[in-house]
Structure 1
Amino acid sequence: LDNLYYSLSFFKIMEVLARGIGEASYGKIRVDFITYDFAKGQRGRMITWPYPLVFAALFCCVEVILAQIKYSTPEDVKAGAVIGNVAKDLGLDVGTLKSRRFRIVSGAQGTLFEVNPNNGALYVHENVDREQLCDRNVACLLDLKIVVENPLEVHYVTVEIIDTNDNRPSFAEKEKVIEIAETTLPGARFQLPGARDRDVGVNAVQLYKLSQNDHFHLEIRDRGEDKIPFLVLQRNLDRERKTNHSLILTAMDGGTPPKYANLSLNIKVLDINDNRPVFSQEVYSVTLQENAPLDKTIIKVQATDLDEGINGDVEYTFGGDITSSVLRLFTLDRLTGEIRVIGEIDYETANVYNLDVQASDKGQPPMTTDCRIIIKIQDVNDNKPEIEVTSISSMVPEDSKQGTVVALITVTDADSGLNSKVICHLTENVPFELKPSFKENMYSLVTKESLDRETVSHYDISITATDCGEPPLSTFKKLIIQVSDVNDNFPEFSHNPLELYLTENNAAGVSIFSVSAFDKDCNENAAVSYHILRGGAGRNVMASIVNIHPDSGQITALKSFDFETLKTFQFQVVASDSGTPSLSNNVTVNVFILDQNDNAPVILYPLSSNGSEVTDHSLFALDRYTGQIRTLRSFTETDEAEHKLVILVKDNGNVSLSATATVIVKLVEPKEAFASSDVKSATKDDEDSNVIFYLMITLGAVSVLFLVSIIRIQSMGKRKNKHMWSFLSTASGWHYEIRKPLRTLSLPLQTLCLS
């Protein structure tokens, strides 16, 4: 710092917001600002450095970090000239400026300057004309807002435009004619037109000089920023000796080198008019409301002249320094001295007007005097506040924490006093709030509640700014905040579990069912894919039975199902979204196989055997539901000894299926039943010799039984006839035999059963 000149410039009291988890507190600190001027001859800059340790402790929890820098630059610098390095002075990482969208977000003034995102330099973008920007204001300060994102920071840069001596003084006219009576006494003063210089400060008009002469000298009256030259008579004039005096009035500014302008003064010496008009007061002050109606009388000035006749008649005119812009607003009645409004008065354009009025009599030569009228413009609340959105995040994630900054808002009002005080609020009930910044009329739009895109996907926020004028004026600004989706919803099935009834003998490879899950999220977070849960032994088997399309949820059977083999099975379908991380949900599918009539009945008992079909339906009857075979009457000698019954069994399917069984009924003597049973138990594949052998045995047994029967009948006499029943099972079928007494041919009704 040895080569720098510095001094304490000013201090500020700053209010700091510190926020923890859900808690907030405010504090105030004083920050001294020091102005550093670098090497002599170079442009100066003022950098506001806060105490590092204090700001490090206080701003660690603040959402938007703010700093303020002041630079100065002369107005005549060319486009492209570097004013200062903002990134370096703010301590920003130059390498991250592009990714953080390092930029100027000011209004029209921002087009004069730009920042280089590669090195952080602030440079002149367009040629700067101080007179066009600030007219003749002493201080010409341009406020720039520089924003960087991630995290969001706003820095204020003030650029002071230093006036350079680029304008020379000028007079409204090239020659001024002044008529002075020869009797005018020394000491008389005559106001001269002042020179105008668009520059300010030392570069404005600082000095007036009068060419060398013996009768006049120059007197300067300092009226604030203006210096009014007066021509003062120092010696009596003698018209007879010299009727005209030619002088040169030179106006010089304070620039280096100075610039100047000349006005020719033509002094005409006239005959006597020894009294000049006199105003009641030298300075008049009046207050006028802006937007005053046209032709409104502001003030009436009056000057008196002690002379008589035309030498005492007074006329009023504006002084030579009145600009054309003032003449478009006010008019002066030459005879009455009334000043009236003829243009639109706007406080925001100018809040005070200084008018010089001259009173001249009609004597020869005329005598004049002057006065100043100060018109103070009173502000009227005629300007609505203006809302400027400096930076806005158009998409806000639905999982944003409370207090997340969504937008920065600046409110301005061109009025003054209470009329410029603005109150901002949100007109609708939304989960956002406005938080004031340390700088007046700047707000941060932050979240105050949790967001849920599935409930509300966007917010139309209306911001109302109302000033404190009477009556108050308001303006509105609408912001559309889109809530971006976060994968916070699981896919959901309408029912769980699901039941599927599937008829057997389905076609393999054909869709049998579909599942569908809905995800409340959107886009990729709502894109659902399906798969069958695998992992266990039973679950892996499902991979060979069913398959599911990952996008449509269509379930396809990989095989044809058989009710007699598999009656029911269960598997789980997993629905997963495409979010990060992916969320999933399961549904259980219970499949029930429905039977079809695809199997014919099988008779297990009795087995079928050879025989001839019974044609006499009057002897036997069959119960169609229980399968019982009954005799309808007693057997007679004319009945066949062997009856073959063919039994037909049918089911009740849509397509009825059937099976048949053969029942052979033989009528034999009681003892022959056993021999017959032995014969029937022989197989058909025996040798012919074995058949003859068994036939001989059978004939012998029949003969023996016949003899025994005769003997028994004779011994029993008139005893009641008895019947014996026997069931013989052979390989070829079931046989039912009835032993019949020789003497009696009638049989009671008996029953045969099939099972």
Structure 2
Amino acid sequence: MWGGIRRRSSDGSWFSAFLFSLLLFCGRQAMAELRYSIPEEMKEGTFVGNVAKDLGVDKSSFTDRRFRVVSGSKDAFFEVNPDKGSLQVRKKIDREELCQGSGACQIELKILVENPLEIHYVVVEITDVNDHSPSFSEREQSFEIAENTSPGTRFELHAARDPDAGINSIRTYTITSNDHFDIESSQSDEDKIPFLVLKKSLDREQKNKHMLCVTALDGGKPPRSGTLNIIVNVSDVNDNPPVFTQDSYNVRLSENPPIGMTVIQFQVIATDSGTPSLSNNVTVNVFILDQNDNAPVIMYPLSSNGSAEGVEEIPRNVNAGHLVTKVRAYDADIGYNGWLLFSLQEVTDHSLFGLDRYTGQIRTLRSFTETDEAEHKLVILVKDNGNVSLQIAQNPNWYRASPEAQTPMKL
């Protein structure tokens, strides 16, 4: 019977502890990594790659090997064709829904093969298709600009958004032909921010309102576009708008903040109080910092009921340094909060087994003798490097067997 408990430690770190009973065993687990690439929005059944062929599996033995995708989600995007051994699309993929931003969008899969048991890793890159048009958050934007505003003054416009990535994202902004205004843009992270630029002085007595149209174009072929209507009301006399002390602000905010918490306070200098009122704006970049709010999760070994326990076998005649097994775990946190360390919490014979604290590999420290027990119990602790005190532990199970020369030993 397998069982486990999850706890918090006194030093602020998540860790997983599990009973690891070893039946010392000579089997090997073959591993390989394949890489494929497909565009998004491909229909169900679309061929991705011939996994069986790329792994060198003979057609005559393919059916017996029982290829399948191991997925932790009910909404798996890929599956292996049982007749052809090919990886194919199971569900249509929307790249923008799956991966936000312009970076590479990849899906990592595990392919399980039986007879003998093997696990192979497959990475599928989802490339972008220009299936979205640029769009603005509002249909129009208004400005109050004093007639004595100096040429060259810039006014930040609403940035258009395009979920597509790379060349299919927003590439340029244009403005309707006019005598007084031009448009420029600057890059900010993944967004291209447009600015309305005054190129010729305004005269309220000649024209008190300017109607313009800004168009955002992406890099697709053909390009897609979105528009923003600009209304400029020319004001008289009041020629000093409010000014922020900085052009932009950067704020670092820990995740899971309480609702209502103050994120930033601005200092604004306003020297005029005329009518009509003037306005200004500023860019605020908020960076969300990771908190240690996820415990390590044991990936291997796992018992049939899902608890972090296992049994391994090795023969008595192995030498010192023999790899018994490797404990595998991951932590959803990043940086130091996701850095895992392994340690032996309990072991029947400290002279017989050693654990690498960084890799989770368990190896023999010496050869077995006739006096060694046939069964050994190891309790492994997996711990992250967070500051918040968290821990996980499991109740150990004992395994006992009479020692026999040249026979496997339970651990």
TM-score band, normalised by shorter chain: 0.7 to 0.9
What are the Cα deviations for residues 12-64 of structure 1, in whole angstroms up to 9, with x where unaligned?
Answer: xxxxxxxxxxxxxxxxxxxxxxxxxxxxxxxxxxxxxxxxxxxxxxxxx9922
1:411 pairs with one of 329, 332, 335: 329
Shift of 1:435: 7.3
Amino acid at match of 2:330: T
Which blocks of at least 5 consecutive residues in structure 2 are unaligned? Answer: 1-25, 406-411
Q: Do 1:109 and 1:144's aligned partners in 2 also have CA atoms closer than 8 Å?
A: no
Distance change (3 Å), C-alpha of 1:114 and 1:398: closer
CA distance in 2, matches of 1:110, 1:144: 13
Aligned to 1:163: 128
Q: What TM-score results when the alignment is normalised by the length of structure 2?
A: 0.75
Q: Do 1:426 and 1:433's aligned partners in 2 also have CA atoms closer than 8 Å?
A: no
What are the Cα deviations for residues 328-372 of structure 1, in whole angstroms up to 9, with x where unaligned?
Answer: xxxxxxxxxxxxxxxxxxxxxxxxxxxxxxxxxxx42x3333332
Q: Do 1:68 and 1:156's aligned partners in 2 also have CA atoms closer than 8 Å?
A: yes
Aligned to 1:383: 294
**Per the alignment, in what secondary structure is the counterpart of residue 368 of structure 1?**
coil
Shift of 1:110: 7.8
**Per the alignment, in what secondary structure is the counterpart of residue 183 of structure 1?**
coil
What are the Cα deviations for residues 256-295 of structure 1, in whole angstroms up to 9, with x where unaligned?
Answer: 2211111111222222211122222213233333334444
Distance change (3 Å), C-alpha of 1:175 and 1:286: closer
- 1:291 has 2:256 as partner: yes
Shift of 1:429: 4.0
What are the Cα deviations for residues 57-76 of structure 1, in whole angstroms up to 9, with x where unaligned?
Answer: xxxx9922222121111111
**Per the alignment, in what secondary structure is the counterpart of residue 108 of structure 1?**
coil
1:372 pairs with one of 274, 283, 297: 283
Amino acid at match of 2:382: A
Distance change (3 Å), C-alpha of 1:480 and 1:302: same
Q: Do 1:95 and 1:118's aligned partners in 2 also have CA atoms closer than 8 Å?
A: no
The 5-angstrom pairing of residues 216-255 of structure 1 reads: 216-255=181-220
CA distance in 1, matches of 2:398, 2:89: 35
Q: Do 2:183 and 2:194's aligned partners in 1 also have CA atoms closer than 8 Å?
A: yes
Aligned to 1:611: none
CA distance in 2, matches of 1:397, 1:414: 27
The 5-angstrom pairing of residues 399-478 of structure 1 reads: 401=315, 410-425=328-343, 427=345, 429=347, 464-476=381-393
Amino acid at match of 1:240: E
**Per the alignment, in what secondary structure is the counterpart of residue 111 of structure 1?**
coil
The 5-angstrom pairing of residues 64-143 of structure 1 reads: 64-108=29-73, 111-143=76-108
What are the Cα deviations for residues 90-121 of structure 1, in whole angstroms up to 9, with x where unaligned?
Answer: 22233333333322224228811111243321
Which blocks of at least 5 consecutive residues in structure 1 are unaligned? Answer: 1-60, 312-362, 489-755
CA distance in 1, matches of 2:82, 2:260: 55
Greater relative contact order (Cα < 8 A, sep 6+): 2
Amino acid at match of 1:238: D
CA distance in 1, matches of 2:46, 2:356: 36
CA distance in 2, matches of 1:136, 1:420: 23
Shift of 1:235: 1.7
Structure having the higher Rg: 1
Q: Do 1:80 and 1:123's aligned partners in 2 also have CA atoms closer than 8 Å?
A: yes
Q: Do 2:102 and 2:190's aligned partners in 1 also have CA atoms closer than 8 Å?
A: no
Q: Do 1:387 and 1:410's aligned partners in 2 also have CA atoms closer than 8 Å?
A: yes
1:204 pairs with one of 169, 172, 189: 169
Distance change (3 Å), C-alpha of 1:406 and 1:279: same
Q: Do 2:101 and 2:190's aligned partners in 1 also have CA atoms closer than 8 Å?
A: no
**Per the alignment, in what secondary structure is the counterpart of residue 132 of structure 1?**
helix
CA distance in 2, matches of 1:463, 1:94: 41
Q: Do 1:401 and 1:447's aligned partners in 2 also have CA atoms closer than 8 Å?
A: no
Aligned to 2:14: none
The 5-angstrom pairing of residues 531-680 of structure 1 reads: none
Shift of 1:433: 7.5
Q: Do 1:409 and 1:444's aligned partners in 2 also have CA atoms closer than 8 Å?
A: yes
Distance change (3 Å), C-alpha of 1:478 and 1:230: farther
**Per the alignment, in what secondary structure is the counterpart of residue 97 of structure 1?**
helix
CA distance in 1, matches of 2:70, 2:361: 15
Shift of 1:218: 0.4
Q: Do 1:77 and 1:127's aligned partners in 2 also have CA atoms closer than 8 Å?
A: yes
Distance change (3 Å), C-alpha of 1:207 and 1:476: farther
Amino acid at match of 1:467: D
Distance change (3 Å), C-alpha of 1:390 and 1:288: same
**Per the alignment, in what secondary structure is the counterpart of residue 419 of structure 1?**
helix
CA distance in 2, matches of 1:397, 1:293: 45
2:116 pairs with one of 143, 151, 170: 151
Amino acid at match of 1:215: H
Shift of 1:478: 8.1
Aligned to 1:632: none
What are the Cα deviations for residues 636-660 of structure 1, in whole angstroms up to 9, with x where unaligned?
Answer: xxxxxxxxxxxxxxxxxxxxxxxxx
Amino acid at match of 2:56: G
Amino acid at match of 1:384: A
CA distance in 1, matches of 2:218, 2:289: 33
Aligned residue pair count: 362
Q: Do 1:146 and 1:154's aligned partners in 2 also have CA atoms closer than 8 Å?
A: yes
**Per the alignment, in what secondary structure is the counterpart of residue 264 of structure 2?**
strand
Shift of 1:177: 1.8
What are the Cα deviations for residues 351-401 of structure 1, in whole angstroms up to 9, with x where unaligned?
Answer: xxxxxxxxxxxx42x33333323333333222111223487689x999753
**Per the alignment, in what secondary structure is the counterpart of residue 202 of structure 1?**
helix
Shift of 1:446: 9.1
What are the Cα deviations for residues 645-696 of structure 1, in whole angstroms up to 9, with x where unaligned?
Answer: xxxxxxxxxxxxxxxxxxxxxxxxxxxxxxxxxxxxxxxxxxxxxxxxxxxx
Aligned to 2:270: 305
Distance change (3 Å), C-alpha of 1:100 and 1:222: same
Distance change (3 Å), C-alpha of 1:374 and 1:173: closer
Q: Do 1:169 and 1:253's aligned partners in 2 also have CA atoms closer than 8 Å?
A: yes
CA distance in 1, matches of 2:156, 2:312: 74
Amino acid at match of 2:281: D
**Per the alignment, in what secondary structure is the counterpart of residue 99 of structure 1?**
helix
CA distance in 1, matches of 2:64, 2:220: 46
Aligned to 1:677: none
Q: What TM-score results when the alignment is normalised by the length of structure 1?
A: 0.43
Distance change (3 Å), C-alpha of 1:175 and 1:483: farther
**Per the alignment, in what secondary structure is the counterpart of residue 126 of structure 1?**
coil
Aligned to 2:7: none
Q: Do 2:68 and 2:112's aligned partners in 1 also have CA atoms closer than 8 Å?
A: yes
Q: Do 2:296 and 2:384's aligned partners in 1 also have CA atoms closer than 8 Å?
A: yes
**Per the alignment, in what secondary structure is the counterpart of residue 281 of structure 2?**
strand
What is the CA RMSD across the aligned residues, in angstroms?
Answer: 3.9
Shift of 1:167: 1.4
Distance change (3 Å), C-alpha of 1:162 and 1:247: same
Shift of 1:477: 6.8
More helix by share: 1
CA distance in 2, matches of 1:91, 1:262: 53
Amino acid at match of 1:262: T
**Per the alignment, in what secondary structure is the counterpart of residue 131 of structure 1?**
helix
Q: Do 2:312 and 2:324's aligned partners in 1 also have CA atoms closer than 8 Å?
A: no
Q: Do 1:180 and 1:268's aligned partners in 2 also have CA atoms closer than 8 Å?
A: yes
CA distance in 2, matches of 1:436, 1:101: 34
CA distance in 2, matches of 1:286, 1:123: 44
Amino acid at match of 1:421: W
